[in-house]
Structure formats: C-alpha cells, structure tokens
Amino acid sequence: MLIENNFVSISDLRDKTSQVIKDLSKSGKKILLSQNKPIGIFLSIEEYNAMQKLSFEKEKASLDDIKAYKNSSHGLDGVEAFSFLNSLK
C-alpha cells in the first residue's frame, strides 16, 4: 500500500485507512498526521540526523540575500519574521 517513497495520497489515506495502518505496523515506520494545526515533533539526535540526510540540500542565505528578499515585493510577508529575528540580535 505505501508507495515507494513512503507517501500515501490523501485519497488512499481516506479510502484505505485501515490498510495504511496495517502496512505501517508491519513496516515499523512512523506516521504523523495533522489537519490545519501546527505540530511539534520530538526526535532523537540520530533520527534528526537521519532525516537531515534525506532532506533537500540546504541553501545558505547571505545577509545580502536576506536584505534583497526583505526589500522585494514578495518579501512583505516576511517583514514581521525579519523584525523578530532582528530583535534577537
């Protein structure tokens, strides 16, 4: 049931929930579900490092990149976040 990259479509999850849960219990994999609510997840260092290796390569933003984004038209949504980050200095 679980597809190769460990994702299940929303329609499969809706229509075949019991099968998805059975597959997960057999494989020992973990699943997190959230609907329109922020969640926090506690991981061991080993689990976090393993996930980091699987995630996309990090992009390091320079101070100039941040300033350019902040001054761009699409950066208006980030102004509050930048103000918060600046207050931490």
**29 contacts 2 by C-beta, under 8 angstroms:** yes
Average pLDDT over residues 55-78: 70
Average pLDDT over residues 52-72: 75
Return the pLDDT at 4: 52
Is residue 89 scored above 80 in pLDDT?
A: no
**14 contacts 37 by C-beta, under 8 angstroms:** no
> Does the model's pTM come out above 0.75?
no
**41 contacts 31 by C-beta, under 8 angstroms:** no
Return the pLDDT at 58: 66
pLDDT tens readout for residues 12-35: 778 888 887 787 778 777 766 666
Taking the C-alpha atoms of residue 28 and residue 51, their distance in angstroms, rounded to an integer, is: 16
